[in-house]
Every structure is written in C-alpha cells, then in structure tokens.
C-alpha cells in the first residue's frame, strides 16, 4: 500500500505545487504590485492619447491641465507604493 501511494504522489508533486502557485492567496505585496501596474498602464495610455491629440486643440479645450493633474496624482500614488514596497523588503 505504502509503495503504491509513493509512486502516485511523487510524480504529481510538481503539478500540485504549480496549482498552488496559481491559486495561492495574494499577499499585500502582490496587491500593491498589481495596483502599481494598473496605475502605470493608465499613465501610459493617457500619454499616448495626449500625443495623438493636437496641442492647440487640447489647449483650447482646457484638457492639458486636467490630464497633467491626473498624471501627477497617479505619479504620487505610484511613488508612495514603491516606497512602501521597498520599506517592507
């Protein structure tokens, strides 16, 4: 009985470990990293969008102030999270 059990479990350990790694509970560090990634992605998207717009049109509509404010807030959040991550490590 013991021999059969070992011959079944041993080859499947890597599968079990892989499944655990995929579904393990998220740590605070994982949550911070995903928040930072989302923020960076939003900033990149905003920069690309601004590059596509003509500058004069953006100035006329007053969009530049809004976008730069949003990106500054995102940068501040990103920097705070980076600091927290480095302090924890």
Q: Check: pTM over 0.75? Answer yes or no.
A: no
Q: What's the pLDDT tens digit per position in 22-48?
A: 777 777 777 788 888 888 888 888 777
Res 84: pLDDT: 66
**Residue 78 near residue 36 (C-beta atoms within 8 A):** yes
Q: What is the mean pLDDT of residues 71-80?
A: 71
pLDDT (mean) for 64-80: 66
> What are the two backbone dihedrals, phi and then psi, of residue 62, each rounded to the nearest 5 degrees?
70, 25
Cα distance between residue 75 and residue 68, in whole Å: 10
């Amino acid at each position: 009985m013991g021999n059969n059990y070992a011959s079944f479990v041993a080859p499947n350990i890597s599968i079990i470990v892989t499944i655990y790694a995929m579904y393990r509970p998220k740590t605070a560090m994982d949550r911070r990293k995903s928040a930072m990634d989302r923020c960076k992605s939003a900033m990149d998207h905003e920069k690309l969008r601004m590059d596509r717009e003509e500058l004069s049109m953006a100035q006329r509509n007053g969009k530049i102030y809004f976008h730069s404010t949003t990106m500054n807030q995102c940068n501040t959040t990103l920097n705070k999270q980076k600091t927290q991550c480095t302090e924890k490590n």
